[in-house]
Structure 1
Amino acid sequence: MSVAIQADPPAGRSMQALRESDIALLAGAELFRGIPPLEMEQIVYGFLSGAVIQAHPAGSVLLAPGCANDRLFVVLEGALTVQLEDELLGHLLALGPGQCFGEMSLIDRTGSSATVIAVADCRLLSIASRDLWPMMLVEPLLAFNLMQVLSGRLRSVNSALIRSHHICRDLEHEIRRDALTGVFNRRWIDEQFARQLERCQREARPVTLLMCDIDHFKQLNDTHGHALGDQALRKFAEALAGATRPGDLLGRYGGEEFALLMPDAGGDTAFGIAERLRQAVAAVAIPSAPGPVQLSASFGAASWQPGEAAISVADLFLRADEALYAAKRAGRNCTVLATRRDGLAQPDR
């Protein structure tokens, strides 16, 4: 990236004359705020040396991240934008006549932390550090004003970081939610279920995984269309979410299949919860032209109890899936609980 501003213009060049309009503007500029116009003019003409008036066409990159800078710039004419490297933060603030930039890299000497671009042709008053510090000794208001500018910049960066955090949080929420039903998706299930199962086993707390899906969902789709099928999935998810306990983890595993992990729920407790869920789903009726479509669902559960050998989340899913298929073979609309001893408990309706 080509940066238009040189860190230290050649010495010995005479200072370009400030226009009357420049003097009037500087009298109200944020750097010279509170300083009488005559005193401000004496300071500017008395201390500044070298080529201090710079002109840049629109599109010029005036500062770039990492580039050394030992100058403070005051905008006399034109418009500039300050941008951060982070794509989420992007545009930080706009600068116009009377505002300054370059103060952070001037003070800490670690290079610019942002990109400053001219969005319109601009003229700048360029103040080198060798001139700025003596100016502040003569007029302490300059130091006070510069601290206010710096404080404003830090607040702008802080606000941008907060916005970025909210954006990241919203994006994180979106990539872990199923767009159709609003419950968590497979990616979230893969991350959280394994973590929660490991925690329950470490703390010797019972845990149960429940797999469930809508009975005859393909037939429902073929008969009534995908729009009603999508509505069925949403209503199914709502019924499940409305009947789960606080702390239970619900997500859409894929297609019409959903998974629910229930910490602190052994076989009997989980079986009761599954039956409550099954009844909540059975109460769902979706309006359609031929008549209401009644939903039903099958449930398969697999538990881990303290004292048993540790089990992986993949094995727990396998056992719960086997129980779900056993429920379907038993006629659907029922719950089957896998057990360690004899494989599968009898279905309950």
Structure 2
Amino acid sequence: MRRADRDQLAHLRSRVDLVDRTRRALAVAASDDEAVRAVAAALDAALPDVVTVRTFEHGPDLALDPDLRARLGAALAPAECLAVRGPATVVTPSSRQVDACTHLRDVDDPVSAVCVPVAHGREVFAALHWTGPVGHPLDATLVRALEVVAHLLGAELALRHEPGLDEPARTDPLTSVLNRRSTMQSIRRLVRDLVPFSLAVCDLDRFADYDAVHGHDVGDRALRLYAQALTRTVRPGDVVGRTAGDVFTVVFPGTSAIDAAHALERVREALVLDLSTGDLGPFTVSCGVSDSDQGDSIEAIVETAELAVALAKASGGNRVVVAGEQTTHLPGEPWT
């Protein structure tokens, strides 16, 4: 393998690792503070000391501990960061150029920079800042990884800051399925009562791109449509929850992973029919399924399903992968 190919493969692995680490961390974050800390830790593991999370003056009031705020540094004024105005990613070859952000022009030595807004729709919560030597820009693959991480964090924070969403709320206000807290409570009850189950993590394929192309309102409609396909197709006793921005968790009590996969194939068929009779742009979903005996904790069972959905996406998306199976299941193929 040529050195250039090896370097490209290393960058791709870094991107996948960063995104997967972020997804897993956000899946168990219980507050704004934990969500931001989780992303900061994932970034530090992938790109040590070169990416920071910056908050903004007069932005959404994130519930962050004082020590975390001190670690993140002084909040930026929106006028200091061009990425906030879009909001859109801004790549700056040199902080000395005339159109560089003002907070970059103030540094002693010239740097190149990438700024990615942490946003949901037009609401900006924070930004991810990378700086490096002039003439050595961040690899495009890692820029895209930062954009995906920013999207995941933005969707998570938006979910927490939905108007009218209070602590005792059980349902997600956008899709009307259970929220993450209620979903996890349902799983804990099954574990407590020694009820075996299968768990599926379902993730809309390339949703950040879909949202960017079609707009935030259409993206919200897509999430609602998939939630409706799930709740209409699975059994009344199954658990359906939205557990992250574009991630749904489905729990099938007393059901094998293969039977759960059959159910998810019926959901896929229902979604295809709904899209064919509506006016939404087409989208697909990848699902990973694990069995409750494939982990010694709820977190391990969820992580097993997340690894399966990562394999589904890596195999092209729009498919169901059962953890431990040797092959992925393409739409329309019979399960054996």
TM category (shorter chain) comes to 0.3 to 0.5
TM-score by length of 2: 0.46
TM-score by length of 1: 0.44
Larger Rg: 1
